[in-house]
């Protein structure tokens, strides 16, 4: 088989992974009597072996990200080229090399399976390859497929701990495509499994429950849920590898809740703890470490911009997070960091800011129609108003409103509409709605946004009025 045909066959196998009829027509496996589950496992294992064997390198990560985003995720070549900031020639060169590696691996694995050198496997027994496939779908923003795969794999997992992890991933996926009933069902299933490694799964479960509570507007409950489990765990300085990374990710999630509440000192404390744990995460999976590094930079940027007023430091942090997300192929993190970098750049480089904003919103609208879309839209309203006018801002908000939003995100969208009304000169309307929103924000424990709602109509021209940085923080909750 020529190299051109081998690359084409590898691409066909990835694109048609879930189409048995098409997969059996693939020249790499045609005529073989292997079960569909075995063929699917061979393709998944070939992709996983390419993405995780050997030391991590930028080139290997780039190639893996291209396959995940284009051939598994179905993202357009143009958007991936723009997101990764590479030339069209480099994109096609790296993609071709990646497909050749996967094609060669599939060919060798099929030969080994048909000669009896690989044991037969059950359809659901995907092991590490199945987990890698779910992770690849998560990175590509394919959350409906993540829900389908993770919820199908969970009942057949070899270990209770792995079943819990699959159910929690399924819950996250359902939340992102705004099916909260499915998310709650997945959490119920996760709770039904018993596991000796109780603390780590309790921590992950608490983070998932906290996320749903947060979207529902129950901010005090969400913060308390996560904090109680963190306090009951092992001494942080004794943690290493996977445990250190998992705990650090939970700490960062809790810190983002504190940011929304304007509790900056608590956010700083959680950031410092998470950063210390990140130093001990050497033994964890490469992708998990990259994810942690990305969200740490994002949180550092938020603190620098909104609490310290240090725009230069914020820009550097957001740029670093965006670059890591691009290299690792994490579509959602890349889109959201593009949005936050656009907010930080704003008047310093309006054209670049708008370019980043357009890219981020395009990706988020397509793949994350829930809370990420609301967050991205609300964050970009000031930039859109200044650079493109109120019609552009209203259009962006209307597109976000088409999707199902939780109470918290609906409140933030209402707040953005107050800002647009202020820009339009409807001061009486904006004042009345701002006071109403202030009350609602306080009812849901988001005191910093309540203060902003009272201020936003007073002086639209000041970015500080939009920022949560100078809002007086509400009293901390008691989580003891």
Q: What is the pLDDT of residues 413-431, one digit of tens each?
A: 887 887 777 777 766 667 7
Number of neighbours of residue 55 by Cβ within 10 angstroms: 6
**Taking the domains of the chain in order of start, what are their residue ranges?**
3-123, 294-368, 380-480
Q: Yes or no: say if 149 and 374 are a contact pair by the CB < 8 Å rule.
A: no
Query: Rounded to the nearest 10 degrees, what angle do helices 3-15 and 36-52 cross at?
Result: 110
Both tokens of residue 53? 């064997």
Q: Yes or no: say if 266 and 258 are a contact pair by the CB < 8 Å rule.
A: yes
R_g over Cα of the chain: 23
Q: Give the pLDDT of residue 411.
A: 77
Find tokens 């970009």 and name the residue. 380
Q: What are the CB-based long-range contacts (under 8 Å, 24+) for 107-110?
A: 107/1, 107/6, 107/28, 109/42, 109/45, 109/46, 110/28, 110/29, 110/32, 110/34, 110/39, 110/42
Distance between CA atoms of 95 and 13, rounded to whole angstroms? 15
Q: Give the pLDDT of residue 444.
A: 67
pLDDT tens digits along 280-326:
888 777 777 888 899 999 999 999 988 888 999 999 999 999 988 87
- The Cβ-side half-sphere exposure at 107, using a 13 Å CA radius, reads 16
Per-residue pLDDT tens digits of the chain, which is 480 residues long: 788 889 899 999 888 877 888 888 888 887 667 777 778 778 877 876 665 444 445 677 778 778 877 887 777 888 788 777 788 889 998 889 889 988 888 888 888 777 654 444 433 344 556 677 777 777 666 777 788 888 888 887 777 777 887 888 888 787 766 566 777 888 788 778 776 667 777 877 888 888 777 767 677 788 788 888 777 777 788 888 888 888 888 888 888 888 877 788 888 999 999 999 998 888 777 777 888 899 999 999 999 988 888 999 999 999 999 988 877 767 778 888 899 999 999 877 888 899 999 888 888 887 776 667 888 888 898 889 888 888 888 888 888 887 766 677 777 788 788 777 777 776 666 777 777 777 777 776 665 555 555 554 444 433 333 444 333 333 333 332
Query: Rounded to the nearest 10 degrees, what angle do helices 241-260 and 264-278 cross at?
Result: 160
Both tokens of residue 19? 């189409």
Average pLDDT, the chain: 77
């Amino acid at each position: 088989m020529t190299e051109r045909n081998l690359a084409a066959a590898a691409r066909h196998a990835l694109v048609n992974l879930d189409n048995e009829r098409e997969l059996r027509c693939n020249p790499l496996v045609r005529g073989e009597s292997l079960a569909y589950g075995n063929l699917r496992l061979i393709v998944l294992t070939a992709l996983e072996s390419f993405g995780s064997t050997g030391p991590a390198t930028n080139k290997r990560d780039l190639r893996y990200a291209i396959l995940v985003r284009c051939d598994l995720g179905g993202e357009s070549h143009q958007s991936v080229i723009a997101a990764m900031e590479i030339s069209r020639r480099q994109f096609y060169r790296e993609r071709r090399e990646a497909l050749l590696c996967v094609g060669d691996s599939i060919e060798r694995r099929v030969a080994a399976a048909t000669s009896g050198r690989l044991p037969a496997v059950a359809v659901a027994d995907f092991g590490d390859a199945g987990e890698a496939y779910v992770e690849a779908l998560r990175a590509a923003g394919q959350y409906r497929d993540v829900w389908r795969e993770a919820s199908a794999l969970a009942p057949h997992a070899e270990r209770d701990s792995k079943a819990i992890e699959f159910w929690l991933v399924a819950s996250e996926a359902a939340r992102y495509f705004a099916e909260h009933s499915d998310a709650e069902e997945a959490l119920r299933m996760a709770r039904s499994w018993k596991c000796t490694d109780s603390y780590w799964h309790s921590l992950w479960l608490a983070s998932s429950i906290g996320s749903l509570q947060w979207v529902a507007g129950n901010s005090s409950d969400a913060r308390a849920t996560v904090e109680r489990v963190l306090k009951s765990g092992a001494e942080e300085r004794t943690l290493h590898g996977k445990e250190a990374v998992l705990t650090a990710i939970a700490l960062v999630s809790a810190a983002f809740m504190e940011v929304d509440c304007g509790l900056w000192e608590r956010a700083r404390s959680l950031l410092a703890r998470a950063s210390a744990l990140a130093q001990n995460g050497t033994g964890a999976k490469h992708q998990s470490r990259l994810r942690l590094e990305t969200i740490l930079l994002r949180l550092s940027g938020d603190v620098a911009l909104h609490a310290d007023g240090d725009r230069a430091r914020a820009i550097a942090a957001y740029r670093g997070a965006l670059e890591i997300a691009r290299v690792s192929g994490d579509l959602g993190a890349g889109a959201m960091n593009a949005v936050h970098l656009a907010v930080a750049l704003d008047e310093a480089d309006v054209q670049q800011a708008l370019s980043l904003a357009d890219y981020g919103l395009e990706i988020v609208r397509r793949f994350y129609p829930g809370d990420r879309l609301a967050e991205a839209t609300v964050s970009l309203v000031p930039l859109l108003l200044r650079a493109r006018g109120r019609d552009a801002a209203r259009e962006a908000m209307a597109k976000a409103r088409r999707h199902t939003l939780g109470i918290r995100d609906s409140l933030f969208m209402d707040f953005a509409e107050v800002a647009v009304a202020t820009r339009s000169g409807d001061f009486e309307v904006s004042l009345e709605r701002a006071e109403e929103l202030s009350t609602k924000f306080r009812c849901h424990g988001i005191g910093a946004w309540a203060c902003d709602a009272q201020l936003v109509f007073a002086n639209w021209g000041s970015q500080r009025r939009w920022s949560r940085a100078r809002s007086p923080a509400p009293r901390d909750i008691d989580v003891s």
